Amino acid sequence: MQPKKNPKADLSKNSSLFFVIGLSLILLITWRAIEWKTYARTYDYEALSVDDDDDEDIPITEQIKTPPPPPPPPPAPEVIEVVEDEEEVEETVIESTETDQEEIVEIEDIEIEDEFDDVDVPFAVIEDVPIYPGCEGVKKSERRSCFQQQINKHIKKNFRYPDIAQEMGIQGRVYVSFIINKDGTIGSIRMRGPDKNLENEAERIIAKLPRMTPGKQRGRAVRVPFSIPITFKLN
């Protein structure tokens, strides 16, 4: 029995050739599509011309010129009257203030009042420091240190810790300042401390200071301020 198909009509015979041709066509089309260029379109236009007939006719007006005002009349000339000089003018005579050599002016002695009456001179700069009782025989150069030593001895001797401050555990330092007056007495006692009870005790101690020989500045008695701290410490 013979086959019905013609051997020459076998489609698979040249399939590889057709595949290569088809692939080549596809690559060619793809390449042309990539390389295809487009250009922007340009348009020509004409300027719009406006006819001269559309211009609006502006009427010509004539400006009326007003004449300038007439100039003001010239001022009348001043009349100058000549007055005869009949009044006498008194001359002022300036007398000289210079004195003749023969004239001698006596100047009375001018009393210079001392300015140390109401001025407080600090203890550190005063010429003659106040003398504490017992320091009279000490040299003048050593009276300052003797004064401070006697003040410290007086504080230790009269020191008494307040009972209420001990019970409450109050302690600290009280700064006391006072003034040795011109008569040697103690005045103007001021205190500053952590507790009122400690301040009162410091005032009591300073108020018991004895009368001293007042400090002197230029030979005259002056008021001398002095300050000292008193420490209250519990053991």
Instruction: List, for residues 1-29, the tens digit of each pLDDT value.
Output: 555 555 566 656 677 888 888 888 998 89
Phi, psi of 229 (to 5 degrees): -90, 145
Closest CA to 172 of 124, 95, 233: 233
Strand 172-180 to 186-192 pairing = antiparallel
What pTM was computed for the model? 0.48
pLDDT value for 46:
46
- Whether 64 maps to a domain, the answer reads no
Classify 169 in phi/psi space as left (phi over 0), alpha (psi -120 to 50) or beta.
left
Please determine, for residue 98, whether its predicted confidence score (pLDDT) is greater than 60: no
Q: Which residues contact 122 (CB under 8 A, 6 or more apart)?
A: 224, 225
- Whether 144 maps to a domain, the answer reads yes
- Whether 204 maps to a domain, the answer reads yes
180-184 mean pLDDT: 89
Parent domain of 161: 140-232
- Whether 152 maps to a domain, the answer reads yes
Q: How far is CA 60 from CA 56, 65, 66, in A?
A: 12, 16, 19
Task: For residue range 102-129, list pLDDT tens digits in order.
Answer: 555 454 554 544 554 567 888 888 888 8
46-50 mean pLDDT: 46
Of 128 and 65, which is predicted with more confidence? 128
- Whether 227 maps to a domain, the answer reads yes
Domains identified in the chain, total number? 1
Length of the chain: 235
Under 8 Å between Cβ of 213 and 180? no
Please determine, for residue 40, whether its predicted confidence score (pLDDT) is greater than 60: no
How far apart CA 228 and CA 114 sit, in angstroms, is 30
pLDDT value for 117:
57
pLDDT value for 102:
54
- Whether 130 maps to a domain, the answer reads no
- Whether 90 maps to a domain, the answer reads no
How far apart CA 108 and CA 73 sit, in angstroms, is 79
How far apart CA 69 and CA 101 sit, in angstroms, is 81
Structure tokens at 222: 């002056």
3-state secondary structure of 57: coil
pLDDT value for 18:
82
pLDDT value for 44:
46
**Angle, nearest 10°, between helix axes 143-158 and 196-207?**
120
Q: How would residue 50 be classed by pLDDT, with cut points 50, 70 and 90? A: very low
pLDDT value for 19:
86
The greatest distance separating any two alpha carbons of the chain, rounded to the nearest whole angstrom, comes to 188
Q: At 174, which amino acid appears?
A: V
Helix (H) or strand (E) holding 129: none
pLDDT value for 225:
92
Task: For residue range 124-178, list pLDDT tens digits in order.
Answer: 888 888 988 888 888 888 888 899 889 999 998 888 888 888 888 888 899 999 9
* CATH code of residue 145: 3.30.1150.10
- Whether 209 maps to a domain, the answer reads yes
206-213 mean pLDDT: 90
How far apart CA 181 and CA 165 sit, in angstroms, is 32
How far apart CA 227 and CA 175 sit, in angstroms, is 7
Look over the chain and give the mean of its residue pLDDT values, rounded to a whole number: 76
